[in-house]
Amino acid sequence: MPRTCFVISPIGEPDSDTRKLADDLLELIIDPALESLGFEVIRADRMIGSAVITSEIINLVQSAELCIIDLSGHNANVFYEAGRRHETARPFIQVIRKGEQPPFDVAGIRTIFYDLSNAREVRNTVLEMRQYAEAVVRGASEVTRTSMSATSIADALDRIERKVDGLSSAETSVRAPMPSSTDPMGAFKRSVPLQQRYFQAVSQGNWEAAANIVEQMREKDGLEPYVVAVAITVAAAGQSAGATIVYDALDDLPDWAAREDPAVGKKDALIALAHYYIERDDEAIGLAKLGEPISLLYNDESIPDEDRGRLANALEQLAYGASEYAVAIEWGERATEKQPQEDAYWTNLSMSYEGINNMAKAKDTVDHALHDPLEESTAHTLDQAIDVYTGLGDRTMVDRLLAALHVVDPDRASYKQFLQALRDKHD
């Protein structure tokens, strides 16, 4: 079945300027952007049937794989439907005509500005929208070595969200207590509008908006523990505003024994900063700045092996990105020693061995992460195993791995097959 994209936009009467603008946006930008991605594009006035009832529209607003929301003209119906879409936390693309500005309520959300009067701008907007939509198609399955995992983000958000779970606006508006040593999230409880905007931005992957909100939190409450906690997630997504806050707070973060109150300690901060440099392709800088503090913390034997493994893995990723493969292998070995059950650590170590062209060790380490049946392996592991077995010339195993990857992540499998075809043509 095709994916559905529901267009939320002003429509207007037939032959009106509003309708002409809506049709131009649909036909010149949205349709060309999505046609190659398997989306069925639906707009309320083009739905099959003599009459479209509100419940049908709301069902599409809430269930479509993607919504495109045109804020041009600040139409009240559009804002209502946009609000219903926002509350689902499902993907959407927000657009507005060039020369207009989104209202304050949604100004922090990434918005595409379009200009239908300029052919080159139309083309650029098509490409930008397609890039957004491709990310939706890939979804959470596309996790690469240089990306903060969805699990890491979820864990960090969960630590914060549990602190404020169940609080109502009434409890947190004018009578909220000042934060204290026993209530480190007190300031966050007072900042419900910022909190809601932050979680909304993160759920949509809009890290620029999240970074802007964190800066507002710092301006409002300084380096309160909740500000540092949310800055950590923003830094890990590659946002410099979050990294600045984390660096400013680093020396004053609680020692390891006190890491549960408040919710973050140096380990969380250092791993987030490692991801910051990885996301920005600045691994050499990150390795120079973080190598010593991460090493010192790793050597603290009072730290649980799980967390020492995470520290070692972060340092390995920095070294790999900096092409310091010997260092990467050293820390990758430590990560797998501390957490031998972590498939991702074995896969990363395989990549580091591949970096020095030691394909025998690359095979041995990736084999640790492969499952029987292969379809139970992660896409990250299958992807790396395909590269390793391709390098070893084992086409039979490559075909088995590709078949498994088609089950786990069809889009990635198609891409790997495309690369295989290029190699075969070149050979």
* Local confidence band at 366 (pLDDT 50, 70, 90 cut-offs): very high
pLDDT mean over 357-369: 96
| Percentage of the chain lying above the pLDDT 70 cut | 77
Buried b / exposed e over 287-315, threshold 16 CB at 10 Å, is bebbbeebeebbeeeebeeebbbbbbbbb
Assess whether pLDDT exceeds 60 at residue 94. Answer: yes
Query: Amino acid letter at 371?
Result: H
Distance CA 345, CA 334 (A): 10
Assess whether pLDDT exceeds 90 at residue 335. Answer: yes
**More confidently predicted of 187 and 229:** 229
**More confidently predicted of 223 and 335:** 335
SS3 assignment for the chain: CCEEEEEECCCCCCCCHHHHHHHHHHHHHHHHHHHHHCEEEEEHHHCCCCCCCHHHHHHHHHHCCEEEEECHHHCHHHHHHHHHHHHHCCCEEEEEECCCCCCHHHCCCCEEEECCCCHHHHHHHHHHHHHHHHHHHHHHHCCCCCCCCHHHHHHHHHHHHHHHCCCCHHHHCCCCCCCECCECCHHHHHCHHHHHHHHHHHHCCCHHHHHHHHHHHHHHHCCCHHHHHHHHHHHHCCCHHHHHHHHHHHCCCCCHHHCCCCCCCHHHHHHHHHHHHHHCCCHHHHHHHHHHHHHHHHCCCCCCHHHHHHHHHHHHHHHHHCCCHHHHHHHHHHHHHHCCCCHHHHHHHHHHHHHCCCHHHHHHHHHHHCCCCHHHCCHHHHHHHHHHHHHCCCHHHHHHHHHHHHHHCHHHHHHHHHHHHHHHHHC
pLDDT mean over 188-215: 73
Assess whether pLDDT exceeds 50 at residue 162. Answer: no
Residues making up the chain, counted from first to last: 427
Among residues 390, 396, 339, 385, the alpha carbon closest in space to that of 362 is found at: 385
253-311 pLDDT tens trace: 865 534 444 456 788 889 999 999 988 888 999 999 999 999 999 998 888 898 899 99
Q: Looking at the chain, which residues constitute the CATH 3.40.50.450 domain(s)?
A: 3-139
Q: Looking at the chain, which residues constitute the CATH 1.25.40 domain(s)?
A: 150-356
pLDDT of residue 175: 25
Return the top range by mean pLDDT from 51-55, 107-111, 157-161, 241-245. Answer: 241-245
In whole angstroms, what separates CA 69 from the centre of its chain?
21
Only one residue has tokens 């509008």, namely: 193
CATH 3.40.50.450 given to domain 3-139: yes
pLDDT of residue 251: 87
Assess whether pLDDT exceeds 60 at residue 70. Answer: yes
Q: Are 264 and 228 in contact (CB under 8 A)?
A: yes
pLDDT of residue 149: 35
- Choosing among 1.20.1740, 1.10.3470, 1.25.40, 3.30.1050, the CATH entry for 150-356 is 1.25.40
pLDDT mean over 362-371: 96
* Local confidence band at 425 (pLDDT 50, 70, 90 cut-offs): low
Assess whether pLDDT exceeds 60 at residue 104. Answer: no
380-408 pLDDT tens trace: 899 899 999 999 999 999 999 999 998 98
